[in-house]
Amino acid sequence: MWAVAILETKKQLQDKSLVFWNVILPVVFVVGFMMIFSNDAPDTVAVANQIITGFSVFFAVFTIISIVITFVKDKDSGFVARMASTPLTVSGYFIGKIFPFVFIIVAQLVFLSLLGFVIYDVRIDQIFLYYFITLCLAFMVSSWGLGISVFSKTENTGIVLTQVIAFVGAILGGLWMPFEILPDIIQTIGKFFPQYWTHQALLFAVSETESVNLWIAFLVIAIYTIIGLGIALLGYRQFLRKSIR
């Protein structure tokens, strides 16, 4: 398991696009949105809280693309078939593969929180809670990546699915604008999405001004994480057969 994790970590660190997707692009969006929405805002820090936390959840989902790409390459190269012939268990393989991505997502959200602190005077009232939510989000997104990867025939399939999940979740979950100003029907639907609960939990950890039931938030995140892992386990045999061929 750790050998797989180390190998995958080395591969990701060699990927030049990692910095663009996980650092440069989020910064461009955060700065751009702050320039648009903070000029005439009575409370610039409140706007920064919304944007920093919202885009943290939004861009975490895009890590699924990298997960899909690495799994498709493993399948096409026969690496999965070779791993299946070793004592390594399916769970060990999955954990080893997603461990670097969990770290990447956490590092990304830590970086964005520091960006908010240094540039926009964002203060996190409950630091432990904030980064615990970040860790939970990282595991949830990684489990989705596993579930999508085992059923993705090509990299493009995973990319399309990731974009749908990211943008639909952002719109319905209130990641780009305050949730309370969305139409009632959108608010009703959005509460079924983990992006909404994760974002609200992060906002609560930042300022404690949001009213959110943290127990429900963590329950929703746990349920969606389990769903992702369950889909991955169900699809592994089919994924393995494709690698053998």
pTM above 0.85, yes or no: yes
Q: How many CB atoms lie within 10 A of CB 14?
A: 8
Q: 156 by DSSP, 3-state: which? A: helix
| pLDDT at res. 96 | 93
Counting the structural domains of the chain, the total is 1
* Whether the predicted pLDDT of 151 surpasses 80: yes
Cα separations in angstroms, 222 against 31, 75, 154, 172, 219: 32, 28, 28, 20, 5
pLDDT tens digits, 65-103: 999 999 999 988 888 888 878 888 999 999 999 999 999
Contact status, residue 239 vs residue 80, Cβ threshold 8 Å: yes
Full residue range of the structural domain in which residue 41 is found: 2-244
Percent of the chain exceeding pLDDT 70 equals 98
Mean pLDDT of the chain: 91
Taking the C-alpha atoms of residue 69 and residue 158, their distance in angstroms, rounded to an integer, is: 8
Question: Of 163, 159, 167, 194, whose CA–CA distance to 67 is shortest?
Answer: 159
103 secondary structure, DSSP code: H
Task: List the structure tokens of 4.
Answer: 């797989």
- Between 206 and 243, the more confident residue is 206
Percent of the chain exceeding pLDDT 90 equals 69
Task: Categorize the per-residue pLDDT at 244 as very low, low, confident or very high, splitting at 50, 70 and 90.
Answer: low
- Between 231 and 40, the more confident residue is 231
Taking the C-alpha atoms of residue 45 and residue 35, their distance in angstroms, rounded to an integer, is: 13
pLDDT tens digits, 223-233: 999 999 999 99
